[in-house]
Amino acid sequence: MPKKNSSSTVQKRSRKSTARRAQVAKRKAYFTYLLTTLFVVGFLVGFGYYLGLKSAAAHQADSSSAKLEKIFQGVSAQKTQTVKYDEAGFGLEGMIEKLRKHKAEEERKKTTQVSTDQEPKTAPKSGKRPRLVLIIDDVSHPWQIKALRALGYHITPSIFPPSELSKTSNKLSYGLKHFMIHLPMQSGSAKMNRMEGMLRITDSSRKMQARAREIRKLFPSGKFINNHTGSVFTSNYKAMKKMYGYLRAEGFTFVDSRTAGSTKLKRITKEYGDRYIVRDVFIDNTQTVPYIHRQLAKAVKIAKRRGYAIAIGHPHKATFKALASAKKLFQGVDLVYIDELY
């Protein structure tokens, strides 16, 4: 009898042990199923989020292009006058500069140091990454400002003073934190020199000073000025030095567009103890998207090598199209406004 009881007890314990193992196995299977389900759901949610970001980025790029197209359609009926510009060694301008009789005499003149109480300009502001300043000249109409904003980049518009292109162009600067003034100066082109407000080397000191004061009144918050055309004016030491002094007295910093290799601004800024600020690349001498992309790549290369670069373009349709599709070209550099560099 005791043996029978012992056998019965063992059987009961065996059945309980088996039941426990079955219960544990069931729990493990449940938790395995639960973890697998959570992993799959998490993966699907994460993948969906990735696709959403990718779609949003593509939509943003398409949106920028669409905005530009809408802006251009709005002005397609307008016949906007295209203002040309000259560049060193480029066609007739280069020959005119070489043939100027007074050039050799000016080069022989000894430089006299200009006394000034102001401190020299500082070096470009330091940054973590190379910086590229992109200036768009010849701005005189609201649609051009809208087109620049649609790009979504930090681009500095250089705005014409009032002229036959627009009698109220200076008002485009109202409310803008970052902008420049695009000052017309004498070039070798008689046609371009007919532009209203054009500064000429024959202008009197009184006229030049009055023009500098007028620009200050038109652009009360303006800080930077660059020359429109101006191959003749910037190459004339006497005229440029006087005008530079008058603009400086009004609180302006001059950026040399360098439309002539014979520009005297480097010499003049040195005499004043100022830093020479000059354009590195023109991006749209040829108005095709591939050419503009190559010029932008050139500017980026300079910025990466030196730490910064200044490029100048114009409000051409091809320029806006090229910029709208140039995001990859700007990888590795920061697009900044001119006043964020100096």
Say what percent of the chain tops pLDDT 90: 63
Are residue 133 and residue 251 in the same domain, yes or no?
yes
Alpha-carbon dihedral sign for residues 82, 87, 91, 96: positive
Mean pLDDT of the chain: 83
Are residue 108 and residue 247 in the same domain, yes or no?
yes
**Mean pLDDT of the region 25-50:** 72
Q: How confident is the model at residue 327 (pLDDT cuts 50, 70, 90)?
A: very high
Are residue 159 and residue 41 in the same domain, yes or no?
no
Are residue 143 and residue 284 in the same domain, yes or no?
yes
Distance CA 281, CA 297 (A): 10
**Mean pLDDT of the region 258-272:** 98
Distance CA 235, CA 164 (A): 26
Are residue 93 and residue 57 in the same domain, yes or no?
no
For residue 101, the number of C-alpha atoms closer than 13 Å in the C-beta half-sphere is 0
Distance CA 179, CA 158 (A): 6
Residue 313 has pLDDT above 60, yes or no: yes
**Eight-state DSSP code of residue 201:** T
Q: Are 182 and 314 in contact (CB under 8 A)?
A: no
39, 54, 77 - which closes a domain: 77
Q: Smallest Cα–Cα separation from 137: which of 91, 175, 184, 176?
A: 184
Report the DSSP pairing between strands 156-159 and 334-336: unpaired
Task: Report which of residues 87 and 139 the model is more confident about.
Answer: 139
Residue 116 has pLDDT above 50, yes or no: no
Are residue 179 and residue 238 in the same domain, yes or no?
yes
Q: How confident is the model at residue 113 (pLDDT cuts 50, 70, 90)?
A: very low
pLDDT of amino acid 135: 99
Are residue 142 and residue 219 in the same domain, yes or no?
yes
At position 232, the amino acid (one-letter code) is V
pLDDT of amino acid 112: 37
Residue 182 has pLDDT above 60, yes or no: yes
* Pick from 125-134, 166-175, 233-242, 311-320: least confident: 125-134
pLDDT of amino acid 63: 63
